Amino acid sequence: MTTEPSTDTQRLSPRPVGPCAMVIFGAAGDLTKRKLLPALHFLARDDLLPEPFAVIGFARRDWDSERFRRQMESDIQAFLPGNFRQEAWDWLKNRLYFVPGSFQDPEAFSRLREMLAEVDRLHQTGRNTLYYLATPPEQFAIVAQQLGAAGLTPDDHKGWSRVIIEKPFGRDLESARSLNQKLRSTLAERQIYRIDHYLGKETVQNLLVFRFANGIFEPIWNRRYVDHIQITVAEELGVEGRANYYETSGAIRDMVANHLFQLLSLIAMEPPNSFDANAVRDEKEKVLAAIAPMSPEDVLVRAVRGQYGEGMITTGQIVPAYRQEPNVYPESRTETYAAMKLMVDNWRWAGVPFYLRTGKRMRGRLTEIVVHFKRAPHILFRETPVHHLNPNMLIIRMQPREGISLQFSAKVPGPVLELGNVNMDFCYADYFGTAPATGYETLIHDAMRGDATLFQRGDSVESAWKVVEPILDVWSALPAREFPNYPAGTWGPAVADQLLARDGRHWYNLSSTLRC
């Protein structure tokens, strides 16, 4: 069963962005050419950037503005071969500038101040500046402090300043608190935009609309009707040249403390009073703060880890074990897979388990939330051939093909009472089409508008680390001995299946049932 596209859509024009300049620290890096410049290109293509706009790149390269423009043009054509729009790029290219320098050099920030003044003169950017820190995490506080020392972080009637920082936001609770303190010594919390590109995905944003704009779901979104919820972020890729980072990170730090907890907070939050940024983020923070803390004994039975070995992925290619990847320690105990059972200790979700899992080199690339509802009573079917009733499931997929599926039971045609599962699918592309995107367009646009709804707040970052720190502590004290414990191209280690089996449940691995 599928649904037919409808023309009954409500469209609102995006709130316009005022004059501003965007400064990209680390402008010669991978993130800039793969994501940030393409995102700005798409925003320019869709007329979502203001006419008074400019971009200043800042990096340790001996470039001038013209060299920077040539390099960015080469990069963007390489990364957007089928989606490149010359007119949009020409508009953007004429607004590109460059400042060479080190993040530790105060003189470089003096040159940046002069360039911002020149850009304001040429493009009337109104002394409004968005700083994007596409830098290693250890540089976040340094850059912020240099900006403050150079007088480049005003936030008053003369102009605004906002700073976007990429994950990871610390390595543990202590380092997250330290980073927050250092940032707040220069910036107000309202000026700090902690970005998680997962929240730029359309279906992630659609979670709020799906939950709170549809009266048929909100009454059953609680412990009375929901049996449990599964959140999966699976990757088919390995470390892909990022081993130096991943060896010090692992799956928990890389994915759980940010991406998965963001999905958890959106699926479990209470209705905010409005879509005001603080109202939404208040409710997300309440969810994270309500997650029941784990004792060391809890960690041993409610959290599992894995590391992939050699195996075959869906393309038929044999891929090496994690320990055989370049720059990985031959006896590495870094987890490439993590799963856990969490309990949200509040009135709505008391007694409802949330099962989270993420891993590399799994059977496919997949991000989805599966809401398992409680089974209906079997009383009516006691004198029939129906021996058990399957639970209804709501499947919300973010990638690779965005969509929502509702699974329910229906009678199979014939003289015998036999039940079959039916899927009612909503595929995002069928209704609204698809447009090339990086996932950063919405987030950059929101930051320019001063809308922090989709960005993490400092207290939420610390609450997330409070949840995972007991797991990290136990895993550090008791290093894994059985690695590798799952072949590449599978759904993960057997111990992850046992995590649910102890509760009489199993992972939902039949994502192919969603038609998208």
Structure confidence by residue, pLDDT tens digits, 358-371: 999 999 999 999 99
Q: Is 123 in the active site?
A: no
Domains of the chain: which residue ranges? 20-166, 199-374+456-513
Using CA atoms, how far apart are residues 442 and 378, in angstroms rounded to an integer?
Answer: 47
Closest Cα partner for 362 from 319, 303, 405?
319
What length does the chain have? 516
Section 421-432 average pLDDT: 78
Using CA atoms, how far apart are residues 226 and 325, in angstroms rounded to an integer?
Answer: 41
Closest Cα partner for 216 from 424, 359, 378?
424
Q: Classify strands 226-234 and 366-373 as parallel, antiparallel or unpaired.
A: antiparallel
| β-bridge partners, 231 | 356, 369
First CA to last CA across the chain, in angstroms? Answer: 13
The reply to whether omega before 168 is within 30° of 0 (cis) is yes
Residue 308 near residue 488 (C-beta atoms within 8 A): yes
pLDDT at residue 205 in the model: 72
Band of pLDDT at residue 510, cut at 50, 70 and 90: low
Of 259, 378, 387, 506, the active-site residue reads 259
Range of lowest pLDDT (150-154, 225-229, 387-391, 486-490):
387-391
Hey, which of 79-83, 213-217, 465-469 has the most confident mean pLDDT? 465-469
Closest Cα partner for 353 from 479, 209, 204, 504?
504
Range of lowest pLDDT (122-126, 292-296, 310-314, 385-389):
385-389
pLDDT at residue 232 in the model: 97
Q: What is the pLDDT of residues 132-162, one digit of tens each?
A: 999 989 999 999 999 999 999 998 888 999 9
CATH T-level topology, domain 199-374+456-513: Dihydrodipicolinate Reductase; domain 2 (3.30.360)
Using CA atoms, how far apart are residues 60 and 25, in angstroms rounded to an integer?
Answer: 10
pTM to 2 decimal places: 0.90
Using CA atoms, how far apart are residues 460 and 471, in angstroms rounded to an integer?
Answer: 18
Give the class (CATH, top level) of 20-166: alpha beta
Helix (H/G/I), strand (E/B), else coil: 274 = coil
Using CA atoms, how far apart are residues 283 and 297, in angstroms rounded to an integer?
Answer: 30
Residue 475: is its pLDDT beyond 80? yes
Band of pLDDT at residue 15, cut at 50, 70 and 90: low
Q: List b or e across 94-131, with b for residues whose CB sees 16 or more CB atoms inside 10 angstroms.
A: ebbbbbbbebeeeebbeebeebbeebbeebebbbbbbb
